[in-house]
A and B are shown apart, each in its own frame.
Chain A
Amino acid sequence: MNLNPFWSMSTNTSRKQRSDSEEQGGPEEQRASPARPPFGKKQLPAIPSNAAPITKPASTATLAQSANGTHASYGPFYLEYSLLAEFTLVIKQKLPGIYVQPSYKSALMWFGVIFIRHGLYQDGVFKFTVYIPDNYPDGECPRVVFDIPVFHPLVDPVSGELDVRRAFTKWRRNHNHIWQVLMYARTVFYKINTMEPLNPEAAVLYERDVQLFKSKVVDSVKLCNSHLFDQPKIDDPYAISFSPWNPAVHDEAKQRMFTYKRRPEDHHKGMQVLGLSWVRPGSTQPFSKDDNAPQS
């Protein structure tokens, strides 16, 4: 997919906040991480309870035809919108420590960064790229490739690719979503799995000599972090890049980030009035709210 103004248009809103937070999150993380106190006991942040697939498998067949069917002309819209919808789901999931941003050039490529906040890989900041097959959602599961191969049993030491497929042996539309892949990419750093490793050395070390494994991990984390400010590997306007904290730039951005309130796209101040409601929460009766409640 080549340069697509439409795509950029449609991501604009979300981009506004995402990109802010990313630019912001990086340096801040950078700065804060040495002193970061552990979250109480070291434990995985809870996985959202609704992580289980919500949808039911019933409706797999019908869509297949749409690609070739009478409405083929709308096909690109479906793909773009499916990916955009996936992205929206990611945002809604609020995955801890994970940020992604679709590429400017192709909706099938997402840039991401993951912050590991505790555990063996604590303080690790790993940039990665998600590659989504172009026959999504009917193809394989998306691939996740770290910019720098992290020392990890499930990460290919050469290509940096994470073994995602083991978790999504078959990619099932409606069941599987990209946020789950991201979630998985995060989990592997907290819960080490050495089965059928892509990096046998790491797997063996983890089994046999945890201390050495740990030190190698620390080295790997350091290596990754030392390249944090490198130019993005892929040249793309939306690629995630880090820069040292520069108060002149970042303070203001941070300020904006904290005060940011999303509004409708072409929302003019004072133009749109909020909706009306006099329904008391918990009630389904109109005008059940206390009359004395302040009216906007």
Chain B
Amino acid sequence: MSWLSRLNPRAPGSRAGRSAAPSGPCTADPETCLMVFENHWRQVSWVLEQREPSSSSDDLTAVRNHTDQMLCLLAEERLGEGSEGSPNMGPILELVVTDNILEHLVQWHLRRGLDSESQGALLKLFEMLIGQSQQPLLQHRAVLQPLLGLLGACADPQLGCPPVLENSLVLLLNQVCVSMARQPMVLEMLFRSTPAQQGPTNLLIFSLLVPFIHRDGAIGQQARDALLLVMAASASHEAVARYITENSYFCPVLATGLSALYSSLPRKIEVRGDDWHALRREDWMGVSSLVLFMNSLEFCNAVVQVAHPLVRSQLLDYLHNGFLVPVMSPALHKSSVDEMIASTAYLDLFLRSVTETALLKTFLRFLLLHHHDNDTILDTLLTRISSNSRLCMVSLSLFRTLLSLNCEDLMLQLVLRYLLPCTHVMLSQRRAVRETDLYGKSADKFLSLIPECCRLSTVPPGEREDDTVFWGKVLNSPSTESPVQPRPSTPSRLALFIRQQSSGGGSGGVVPSTPTSTEPAPSSPRGSGPPSSHPMSPDSPMHQQQVSIDCLDWESGYLEYLHDARRGIELCSWACQNWSAPYDGENPSPNMAPSPPPPPTSNPSLTVFPEHFSFQHSGSSNSPPGQQRAAIVAAARSEWSSSERDSGEWDVTIGKNNCISLTPRSKKRSLQREELPPKPMPPLLPAPSSSFSTSLSASNTPSSSVPHLPASAFTVTHQAMLNGMTGQGDSCSDSQDRGMEVKKVKRELGEQHHLDENSNQNDPPQPMHNDDNGDISDEKPLCPKQIHNLSHCSLPLSDISMPSSDGSQRCSVPSSLPDTNLKDQGLQSVERLIEELLEQAPGDHQLSGDSNGQGISIEAFTQELRELEDRMRERSRAARQPEETAGVPPSAARQVDEPTPSSPLDSELAGTRVSTKAKAESSVMGLSSPARPLGQPASQPYIGPFMVVLFAKLENMLQNSLYVNVLLTGIVAQLACYPQPLLRSFLLNTNMVFQPSVKSLIQVLGSVKNRIEAFAASHEDFPAMLRKAQRYLAARGKVDWSDSPVAVPPLRRSDSLVKSRKPSLGDLILRHTNSPTRARHAAQLALAHVRDGGQSLHSALFRGGPGSGGGVMGLEKQAEALRIKNAVYCAVIFCEFLKELAALAQEHAVSLPFPQSQGAEE
């Protein structure tokens, strides 16, 4: 330190001025400098030449001082004037070279024995010299050799570099690499001129740097920068590349280092908002372990970019075999939902951050081809979309990222290979695959699905000046023919919530509420709008002329959808021009296409929540092996084998959503679960045989319908109720979970197989109670449809605790009770339950983990909702079936309940629908739709698990949360941008006739439409609510539009490389990263706000309404409000989605293909 500080006066250009122009300091004339230098050198050499290396500190000090001055002079010396413009060495450098001064110096130090202080001083001195020198130095052996000698002294073969020297060493190495990058020949010299004693690791600089690859902070960054420079310099240097791959540990260290860093990542991501679904930069910048990982990943990316092909391919190999397969793959298959969420979000982040094609390929290869217990990673991941928890959102986000890659291989695996054989289309229709929507027919069809109840456009004249040009006379006709009923806006919950929002915005900005007179005028957070005329119109340049936000964008947004669609299609087809084939139904030929994999024999979703099978460790022993269903076995296998492999120890955990999971215990794993005390297994499995379910059912009996059951008692039921963001009841939202649950239970007990009679009218009668062999089910692929069926009986299945004979008997009980009857009972129970729940409601909030009382998290809320419904169901069951269940726990009777297609609450909410449609609808609902019906031969066309799961989720829109719907419709729209006729026709050609077993998008949407209409019909104030939801979303969008970034970085651009991006709200839920349309954007921003503001929509909605007093709002009201809210938002999103699809259909007809691989030449 003193060295440098003393250096400074004489070398003002030293540290700070290093990069400054070499102007100032060296004004002295070269000859004077040389004389001074010689003078110093004389005095130094006098010391050096003493025989006995003196130990006197005087000598050392003198040498140091003189060396100090000398090297400063050397550094400041300019290039000498050479002949013909080729510069010579300056006189000082010449002297240094001829007299080998540096070598003498270093040798003297080495002979004396270097203490770390003088070593550090030398390092700094050399670093100064190399960093500041005005002329190239390293090409001279007289400089290089002593440098290497010094460095060699730092490289203790055993201990490495002493910690105190690390900083100086890395800095020096960094400088060396910088100048090496400037003078490529230095690399050659470094490579050759290494002292012999260094042995095989002859690229000393390199091996010194490698240990710092994954280091935290500046030192790690410098080391990585330096290594990168070496990589770049050696890109064309085969010998060096060979050395790196064969003699250094660079690649393995880098790759396995990633593994180590990954293992220290949080296994649970603290979720801040209900809408959270992906890691943004702001999310992880504060998490040091993640920052560390991302730095290293970024470094890998950079190395792949610049390094020699040899190095690159070695690194990629190591990444695949040393990180992805051994670390990432098990991580993605963790058994707890939290860990799945975390690992999925990480994977998403990694994919978004990687920019190098080769590295992306490694990741994609891993995803597409690597099998983890029989399933590819991709297949496993996609099944998670069907979950109802946040896992669904995170998975959707991951797939959004994947789709944005426009990767042929991926699309082939996900979708195209299932469409290639064209078996999904009627034979006569195959030619139509290539047709486009020439006359807007498909577009018209999509638009026609906009529910009547959502067409409430009031168009204040003059508000659409700009639009009338396009819309012409026709535009106004709908508004005249469907005059809007200006309903008095009843203070519905939505109104409350809107109002609440306007005052409750957090840091993310205040939401302006709608300009209804009943509501306080919000002040736009950024930029004061023109307050005088329209106090509430946000100050967005795009929307200055709004007279009223009402319906502003909801009818006129079509143009923008067209524009976005055009852009999306163009970008997509541009990106796809380097694909190998057009996928137009002829090329690749349908006949040549290998038949796609059949639908999974086990429902893929089963593997989604392996925790469902965790019980098997104890439970499976109870069931006769012969009765285990093959499908379940298959599904369970993965968890079985993977978990068994790990270790003998098990952690029993109750996840956030009360899923019980058994996880192999390993050192670090249990950290984040500590908040939730592990429950021992025994309580859950009180008795060997079927007592598990007994306890389960007991927990569900009316008598125990206390909100706070002991966790151990109700976990399982809960599980079914929980996951969701979706508040809907049994038959829809969580059908899968239930299905799984059913299976789990079944698997344990192995005897009774209950299939819901009621949910498949369309199918041949299902085997209601398999005999003991369970043969029927054994042979049948367990497809989603079946799951769906099962879902209806999930709870009832708990009656398996009864003797098996009983079970079958009960199964045959006429399943369909009069709906009205049901409903009545349901309502009664609702009321009773409400009372109960009201008493306990406050305590329930703990479930959400929301101890600060800020709001009810949607998950917790959904959970409560489900609980509520469940209990109501139990009640009605119990009420109906006392006689049957006489000798058994009351809950056992629930099975008979099967016919209830939806919960009483549900039916109350959507009464008309329930009462009329029950049967017909039930087969449409839930997961069933796109899947092939039970019992169909395996040759039936199958459109692949991805489409199946997306359609199923889509069909459920009404129950999905706003967030899920935004993400979900975004993915479908993203798919619909692909220009490949096979895919385009499958999604967008509404005239296409598919095989009966294949459900089309338009059918799915049609059923959603019906549900929305049924919902609207059952809610008098639906129009008002809808308008409010629209206004709210639109208003939100406008607020944030004014300051949303103009150019959102494209997805492929590394997130991690985009420095200091302002936390842009729009990024949050962004579906179309690059083309936010107003409506959608609005929705996205609404979500973002929820998150950033720390105040959730729901808390606003459920707290602090006028009727709610001190926040004690009835649980049932909250439940209803959530359900309504989901449905109303769904209606909004649905309409926008239809417009978007219509626009896509139209734009496909007018888009010109890019000639294939035109861009590849560039």
Contacts and interface: CB of A to CB of B under 8 A. Distances in A.
Given A72-B474, A266-B567, A85 B436 contact: yes
B409 A280 contact: no
A63 B436 contact: no
Interface string A65-107: 0100111111111100110111110011000000000000000
Contact of A277 (B408, B439, B477): B408
B1050 A284 contact: no
A274 B1149 contact: no
B808 to A, nearest CB: 47
Contacts of B576: 275
B574 A272 contact: yes
Interface in A25-84: 54-56, 59, 62-63, 66, 69-78, 81-82, 84
A276 B447 CA distance: 34
Interface string B382-406: 0000000000000000000000011
A75 B1153 CA distance: 26
B343 to A, nearest CB: 23
Contact of A265 (B409, B434, B566): B566
Nearest to B594: A284
A241 B439 CA distance: 31
Contacts of B412: 279, 284-286
Given A5-B469, A71-B448, A77 B558 contact: yes
Interface residues of B, number: 80
A284 B417 contact: yes
A197 to B, nearest CB: 34
Nearest to B407: A276
B260 interface: no
A92 B1152 contact: yes
A78 B439 contact: yes
* Residue among A6, A63, A274, A282 facing the most chain B CB atoms (10 A cut-off): A274
Contact of B581 (A3, A278, A281): A281
A266 to B, nearest CB: 7
B62 interface: no
Given A63-B439, A174-B438, A265-B570, A88 B580 contact: no
Interface of chain A, main secondary structure: loop
A72 B477 contact: yes
A6 B409 contact: no
A232 B133 CA distance: 71
B218 interface: no
A4 interface: yes
Given A59-B441, A73-B477, A278 B447 contact: no
A15 to B, nearest CB: 12
A10 interface: yes
B1162 interface: yes
Interface stretch (B361-369, B657-665, B774-782, B1028-1036): B361-369
* Residue among B358, B416, B447, B1150 facing the most chain A CB atoms (10 A cut-off): B1150
B566 A76 contact: no
Contacts of A276: 357, 360-361, 364, 405-410, 578
Contacts of A77: 440, 443, 470, 558, 562, 1146
B46 interface: no
Contacts of B1053: 271
Contacts of B440: 63, 66, 74, 77-78, 81-82
B559 interface: yes
A271 B439 contact: no
Contacts of A63: 439-441, 444
A282 B588 contact: yes
Interface in A1-33: 3-6, 9-10, 13-14
A196 B1150 CA distance: 37
A248 interface: no
B1021 interface: no
Contacts of A71: 444, 447-448
Contacts of B437: 85
A191 interface: no
Contacts of B444: 63, 66, 69, 71, 74, 78
A273 B368 CA distance: 21
Interface string B1138-1162: 0000100010011111100011101
* Residue among B357, B566, B580 facing the most chain A CB atoms (10 A cut-off): B580
Given A81-B1150, A261-B1158, A277 B579 contact: yes
Interface residues of A, number: 64
Interface string B1044-1075: 00000010110000000000000000000000
Interface in B1104-1162: 1142, 1146, 1149-1154, 1158-1160, 1162
A169 interface: no
Nearest to B361: A278
A224 to B, nearest CB: 31
A271 to B, nearest CB: 6
A76 B431 contact: no
A91 B1149 CA distance: 13
A202 B329 CA distance: 80
A279 B447 contact: no
Contacts of A274: 406, 574-575, 577-578, 1159-1160
A270 to B, nearest CB: 9
A74 B1150 contact: no
A85 to B, nearest CB: 4
B474 A73 contact: yes
A275 to B, nearest CB: 3
Contact of A91 (B417, B478, B581, B1152): B1152
B1150 A88 contact: yes
A173 to B, nearest CB: 6
A278 to B, nearest CB: 5
Contacts of A271: 1050, 1053
Nearest to A71: B447
Contacts of B577: 274-275
Nearest to A11: B1150
Contacts of B441: 59, 62-63, 66
Interface string B449-491: 0000000000000000000011110110110000000000000
Contacts of A86: 438
B75 interface: no
B579 A279 contact: yes
A208 interface: no
A283 interface: yes
Contacts of A62: 441
Given A81-B1149, A88-B1150, A277-B409, A74 B435 contact: no
Contact of B470 (A6, A264, A282, A284): A6
A81 B1146 CA distance: 7
Contact of B413 (A4, A76, A275, A286): A286
A3 B468 CA distance: 12
B116 interface: no
Nearest to A80: B470
Contacts of B443: 74, 77-78, 81
A88 B575 contact: no
Nearest to B439: A82
Contacts of B472: 76
A273 B1151 contact: no
A295 interface: yes
B918 interface: no
* Residue among A72, A84, A278, A283 facing the most chain B CB atoms (10 A cut-off): A278
A10 B1050 contact: no
Given A14-B1152, A267-B574, A275-B578, A76 B417 contact: no
Given A9-B563, A275-B407, A296-B1160, 14 more contacts: A6-B470, A59-B991, A70-B478, A72-B477, A88-B1149, A92-B1152, A272-B1052, A275-B406, A275-B408, A276-B405, A286-B409, A286-B413, A287-B409, A296-B357
13 contacts: A9-B563, A72-B474, A74-B474, A77-B470, A77-B558, A81-B440, A81-B443, A85-B436, A85-B1150, A265-B570, A275-B575, A276-B410, A280-B580
Counting from the closest, the 5 A-B pairs by CB-CB distance are: A275-B406, A78-B440, A275-B575, A286-B409, A277-B408
